[in-house]
Amino acid sequence: MAKITKVTSMLCCLAIVSLSMLPVSASEDAALDATGHKKGEPAFGVTIPKGTTYRDSDGKEVPHPCVDRKIGYQGHFDALYGTYNYSVKEPATDLPKLELMAVDGQQVVPQESLCFRLPPDAGEDGEELSRIRIPDDEEFSFLGKPGDIVWYAPQNIPFANGHRPIWAGIGAFDPHHEPKGKDSIPEHLDKNMYFELKDFSGPGDVNVFFKNNSRKEVERIFSSNDEELKTIEYEMGSHGHFNWTFSKPGIYELTWEAYVKNGAFKVKTEPVRQIWLVGSDEEVGLPEGTTTNLNKITKPLDKDATNEPPTDPSEKKKPPRPEKGHSETSSPSALDDSIERAWKLTGTPKTIINDGHMDLALTRPDKEFVTVINREGKKYSSGDVTLAVPDSGGDQGGPLVKTDSWKDRIEAQISGSLPDQAWVLPESQDHKLPWVGFSNEDLPSDALLPDSKMTVSLNKVELPHDGRMISWHNGISGIDLLTDTDDLSKNLEYGLHAHDHQSMLFTKEGAYGLEYSFDITTASGKQESYPLHISYLVGDATIARAKEILAGEKLGGSLKKKPQEKETKKPASVQNKSGKHNKDTVGSESARKRQQLAATSGSDTNGIYSFHDGDVQDEAVTTAAEWQELDTWWTQLSALLGILGIVGAFVLFRKSMRNN
């Protein structure tokens, strides 16, 4: 009897242990808010208390429209965000309710909880940030007369200034916020969402537009005074930032309604009221001092000022660093040499990324500062991916484009000149190309020393012969040069919870290998540095050759994977927010054949090619797909052992009872 009791106990323990090792599903593990979205850090703001009043246009004392709302500024906000409220079901369809919401920092919130604040603010140098002078350029004539001043929330913000004044965007079912990532985008509906203006009040005009300096035309998104621009068409699964201008200070109230087409029908949201407070506290009916944390403007716009950046040649010419290699790319063998040099620096990649939202990111889950983020189902480590920059195929044209009409804007800020054509990855998302950004938005609020910055710099580069890579931000007044492989002294500075996209230009075909360094000061005051390696395949010929090499064809002799450096810290990660991934088990014969076929056909429906480096036998390399397969088997085995343990324990218990 004692023996039976021990066996029974062992079986019970086996059942408990086996069931406890079952993996928790993503939906159970993810931290979701009350509306079913991923939880995130909110941005800066001040809540307007009850009882706050102001005098309306008729001189009457009335409650302020932002009472009980947070006025959000100096941070990231999506002023329009279309999504489901997953906590509310539609009675007729039992589907979640479609709602027009907003994003506060990284948190999806009801539109009624926010007022968007564009106050008079300045950078650290005292230069005014919240207003601009309309350029003397016909393409900006819709804003008013040249020289007139308008209030301005820019498409790009100076991250070193702490997201001032406000960084406002638009989104719809952005996988970064949705509970199931890309799988949350409703497949039964049309791919586009429409934000329709139903009512408007304000002291002036509102315009929303995007300026890409590698394209001449301004992309107009919305205008409060143009009937043809009162509806915004936006692809679901997207997120972007735009210029918002207001012709006069004051309170702007916009009533919006969103809808998505379902065949001949429309699925509509309820109307919501969006409020913008533009100008000083006095100009928006708030008690003086309500809007806090503003920098004093010591360099205001004046009558004779312009928006043009300085172009003093003595300030722009800087010598290149010695940590830079070049390779010839004028022949097939030269392409091999270019690829070999780039991958010698970065390591041989396992995956070619053709499209999707890719962030070079610093994060800290599980008490580590760097890890591989899995937003939508794919994980990448530093050096494991290379990004494809083809000759053509982008929704916006290019990437290989003529530069003669706009390259002077860049040449004014660099040494040397640019060719008449180059490959450009746009700053705004093109769904057929990689959309590359930098991010630390997943760092906890206590990760960095207060008021410190994350610095991103280029340490080493391997480039094609005469190749050069340049990145910049677009703006109304021109470009803001950010990085230049001919000047490795340039650094990017980001405050906490920053997320940034840039235009990226490549002058020559070939492989570009880059080593970035992410440098921070921790909350304890410790200096930390994390390397990140990534490569770009520029031009169709380079991409095709890289696919052949990764599919198994020899490269000159043998291309070995870069040995793993013995470090106590993991490298910074490459995040994929696109949600697209090749589900083949990498290394299987069927997968390898499909990869070889894709390499010759030049097509890939998933947007990603995955490869296994079979030459590296001394490294324990396990791909994400293999982990997924192992995880599935382990789940099934754990469940089976748990069931057998429970059944066995029950049978033996009954037997012991009968013996008694």
CA proximity to 131, closest of 113, 152, 153, 147: 152
pLDDT in tens, 506-558: 999 999 999 999 999 988 999 989 899 999 999 999 999 999 999 887 655 44
Mean pLDDT of all residues belonging to the chain: 80
CA proximity to 577, closest of 182, 101, 84: 182
CA atoms within 13 A of residue 516's CA, in its CB half-sphere: 27
Separation of alpha carbons 245 and 247, rounded Å: 7
Token couple for 388:
């494809």
Question: Do residues 541 and 496 lie in contact, with contact meaning Cβ atoms separated by under 8 Å?
Answer: no
Query: E strands within 323-451?
Result: 324-327, 351-353, 356-361, 385-389, 400-402, 421-425, 434-439
Question: Do residues 456 and 491 lie in contact, with contact meaning Cβ atoms separated by under 8 Å?
Answer: yes
pLDDT in tens, 617-658: 223 333 333 434 444 455 566 666 666 766 666 666 666 666
CA proximity to 461, closest of 485, 492, 487, 490: 485
Check whether 660 has a pLDDT greater than 70: no
Write down the pLDDT at residue 311. 39
Write down the pLDDT at residue 174. 92
Write down the pLDDT at residue 394. 85
Percent of the chain with pLDDT over 90: 51
The label of the residue with tokens 């290394």 reads 587
Domain boundaries, the chain: 2-23+633-659, 35-284, 325-620
- Please state the separation of Cα 456 from the chain's center in Å: 16
Check whether 21 has a pLDDT greater than 60: no
Would you tell me how many other CB atoms lie within 10 Å of the CB of residue 350? 23
Check whether 197 has a pLDDT greater than 50: yes
Question: Do residues 219 and 242 lie in contact, with contact meaning Cβ atoms separated by under 8 Å?
Answer: no
What are the beta bridge partners of residue 604? none
Write down the pLDDT at residue 196. 98
For 191-205, 407-421, 622-636, 642-656, which range has the lowest pLDDT when averaged over its residues?
622-636
Angle (CA) 79 502 356, round 5°: 80
CA proximity to 373, closest of 445, 441, 449, 447: 441
What are the beta bridge partners of residue 509? none
For 194-203, 294-303, 473-482, which range has the lowest pLDDT when averaged over its residues?
473-482
- State how far the alpha carbon of 267 is from the alpha carbons of 36, 95, 193, 229, 298, in Å: 20, 11, 10, 21, 50
Check whether 573 has a pLDDT greater than 90: no
3-state DSSP call for residue 396? coil
Token couple for 584:
């083949």
Would you tell me how many other CB atoms lie within 10 Å of the CB of residue 363? 22
pLDDT band at 326 (very low <50, low <70, confident <90, very high): low
Check whether 63 has a pLDDT greater than 90: yes
Q: Which helix (H) or strand (E) holds 251?
A: strand 250-262
Separation of alpha carbons 127 and 165, rounded Å: 12
3-state DSSP call for residue 581? coil
Question: Do residues 515 and 461 lie in contact, with contact meaning Cβ atoms separated by under 8 Å?
Answer: yes
